[in-house]
Chain A
């Protein structure tokens, strides 16, 4: 090899090494796009809305005057809708996951269910709103109520819940199942006394992720017709109606009109007055803190479970 050939070879190697380092840098930058956006988003919201985060903001109803408007009806609505979603989605999702992971025979019905779960995870959320508008609001006549919204969001997070619960169940070694069977346990005894307790952490993570998704969902709840201006709270069980003096039934609140935090934010962001934009930003802070705390909790829980695995 002549010195000049050697020289050009060295240059080639040097050039490729430089490309390598350069791409490493580009990779870091590209990854930072996400982190920077998250920071910019948060700082932007805090700068715009921090001034409105007073205690009154949480205890006032929405109002025509921006400075007096608050999110009382919105956060109460969100809490109640989440309660319905939780009660409806968790048993259904966990039961479906247990069936698919522990019971399902390998046949076309199982295959069909699996395809449906995968496909439902990809259906745009607004389509769930259309489903609920036709099915819950008009066909089943639940009206534009907390019940309709809770059930809609339950259907929406069902695939998330099923997939994550199955993963938690799959992480339990077969030896545990065999040990239970060897002691004469039936399948349900094995599932209820071993698998469910052992996968509790994973199931909890799945539930938190699902609820974090549901709390920020706007489009499906708008589609079923949640109102944007609500200046009253759903009737508490057995409270007296101020007009008729009749006590409310224990479940009357399920059928009450309502609004939720993201819709309140959407309503305020659609108004031209800058004062309402501040309210929107403040509501945004409340929503984002709620979802980020839930997501962070889920990530931390998953990390802990991975670390403390007994097997």
Chain B
């Protein structure tokens, strides 16, 4: 580009050279912008990497003092005691119980809402209900915690008189209500992706809407609906403030939802609220607990997305 005959350089030639250098500059600028944008996109990968590295690094310090066997078999979690015990089972049990209660609420209700919105509801109803469900999803979890502790639990105490003020049932139900919109919207997406011709085939055979929904649409969209359940589990497992406020924060190895117990997330909050010296075992223990949480949600997320993708490919 630079080998222009400068000897005969007239005005034409200089403007041409000028234009060329301008073009070069512009290309350079374009390239620079692309690199900047690429780096911004790469921040997602950097965040994931940072999460994994930080959790592994701090948890490694923890597992220098506590063996994996003790971590997964000991049924006591008492890091603050003089004679500390580090068994994740009580926290894991608390997490599983609250998640289980949440699913018992969210799976039936969420599925019925999805079927109703996708197969029964007139257009107007669907368009009005969906924003409402979105608002329900937007309510901050700390407010749901207040609601679980001071509204749902007192109501439950009418039916179960000896239910303690802190218990896993109330927060579990509230988490269930919280994830209804999510389960409903993911399942509804799956149901609406079922081609109209399949439904029409069923209607032509004389089936009612209900028969079509249960016998045709639901089976056809089942992997999408299952994906919704699994992604819902992942959300319930990671839910923090509702259980931290309303389930009590004492680790308690039990499968009974009417008892108080701490979950993995509630434990992290409880420790973070106190002033822990950086680098102590108790400080490292929240990273070990966080690692268990990340692995659990990661497995559920991957499973859910695989199911969802499989479903999308079908039609």
Q: What residues make up the interface of A, taking CB atoms closer than 8 Å to B? A: 16-17, 19-20, 23-24, 26-28, 30-31, 33-35, 37-38, 40-41, 44-45, 48, 91-92, 95-96, 98-100, 103-104, 112-113, 116-120, 122-131, 133-135, 138, 155, 158-159, 162, 186-188, 212-213, 215-219, 222-225, 228, 262, 265-266, 269-270, 277, 280-281, 284, 287-288, 291-292, 294-296, 299
Contacts A124-B297, A158-B47 given; does A288 touch B134 at CB 8 Å: no
Nearest-neighbor residue (CB-CB) of B241 within chain A: A218
A213 touches B297 (CB 8 A): no
Given the interface pairs A34-B180, A116-B47, the reply to whether A27 lies near B120 with Cβ below 8 Å is: yes
Give chain B residues whose Cβ lies under 8 Å from the Cβ of A48: 150
Which of B149, B208, B213, B272 gathers the greatest number of chain A CB atoms within 10 Å? B272
Q: Which of A91, A123, A284 contacts B297 (CB 8 A)?
A: A123
Q: Which residues of A contact B34 (CB under 8 A)?
A: 99, 103, 187-188
Report the Cα distance A28→B150, complex, angstroms. 27
Shortest distance from the beta carbon of B130 to any chain A beta carbon, whole Å? 9
Q: Could you list 18 examples of A-B contacts with CB < 8 Å? A: A23-B120, A23-B213, A33-B180, A34-B180, A38-B132, A38-B136, A40-B147, A96-B41, A120-B47, A124-B239, A130-B54, A131-B47, A155-B47, A212-B138, A216-B138, A269-B150, A292-B135, A295-B134
Chain B 201-234 interface residues, beta-carbon cutoff 8 Å to A: 208-211, 213, 231, 234
Query: Which 5 residue pairs are nearest across A and B when measured between Cβ atoms?
Result: A124-B238, A216-B140, A27-B116, A95-B40, A134-B54
How many residues on the B side are at the interface (Cβ–Cβ under 8 A)?
85
User: What residues on A are CB-neighbors of B273 within 8 Å?
Assistant: 222, 228
Q: A217-B140, A222-B272, A292-B138 are in contact. Are A31 and B113 (CB under 8 A)?
A: yes
Q: Mark B176-216, 1 if CB is under 8 A from A, else 0.
A: 01001100000000000000000000000000111101000
Please pick, from A24, A92, A138, the residue contacting B116 in the complex, using a CB distance under 8 A.
A24
Bound complex: CA A236 to CA B44 (Å):
33
Q: Name the segment of B1-9, B10-18, B25-33, B81-89 touching the other chain.
A: B25-33
Contact pick for B115, options A27, A38, A112, CB 8 Å: A27
Known: A34-B133, A219-B265. A266 touches B208 (CB 8 A): no
- Determine the main DSSP class of A at the interface with B: helix
Interface assignment of B72: CB less than 8 Å from any CB of chain A = no
> In the bound complex, what is the Cα–Cα distance between A128 and B238 (angstroms)?
11
Q: Does B131 contact A (CB under 8 A)?
A: yes
B239-250 to A contact mask, C-beta < 8 Å, 1/0: 111001100000
Nearest chain B CB to A237 CB, angstrom units: 28
Q: State which of A116, A186, A217, A223 has its C-beta within 8 Å of the C-beta of B48.
A: A116
B208 A19 Cβ-Cβ under 8 A: yes
Q: Which residues in B have some Cβ–Cβ distance to A below 8 Å?
A: 26, 29-30, 33-34, 36-38, 40-45, 47-48, 50-51, 54-55, 57-58, 109, 112-113, 115-117, 120-121, 129, 131-136, 138-147, 149-151, 177, 180-181, 208-211, 213, 231, 234-235, 237-241, 244-245, 265, 268-269, 272-273, 275, 278, 286-287, 290, 293-294, 297-298, 301-302, 305
One of A117, A223, A288, A296 near B272 (C-beta < 8 A): A223
How many Å lie between the Cα of A134 and that of B58 in the bound state?
A: 8
B181 with A135: CB separation less than 8 A: no
Give Cα distance in the complex from A158 to B47, angstroms: 10
Identity of the chain A residue whose Cβ is nearest the Cβ of B213 in the assembled complex:
A23
Q: How far is the CB of A215 from chain B (nearest CB, A)?
A: 7
- The answer to whether A135 touches B40 (Cβ under 8 A) is no
Residue of A nearest to B138 (CB): A295
Q: How far is the CB of A229 from chain B (nearest CB, A)?
A: 12
Query: Which residues from chain A contact B36 at a C-beta distance below 8 Å?
Result: 95
- Complex Cα distance, B210 from A124, in Å, reads 37
Q: Let me know if B147 and A44 touch, CB within 8 A.
A: yes
**A residues near B58, Cβ cutoff 8 Å:** 134
Contact A127 B245 (CB under 8 A): no
From known contacts A20-B208, A218-B241, A222-B272, infer whether A130 and B298 are also in contact, taking CB-CB under 8 Å: no
B247 to chain A, nearest CB (A): 13
List the A residue with the shortest CB-CB distance to B58: A134
- Closest-by-CB residue of B relative to A223 is B272
Residue in B30, B37, B112, B294 whose beta carbon sits within 8 Å of that of A127 in the complex:
B294
A130 contacts B129, C-beta separation under 8 Å: no
- Are A127 and B293 in contact, CB atoms less than 8 angstroms apart? yes
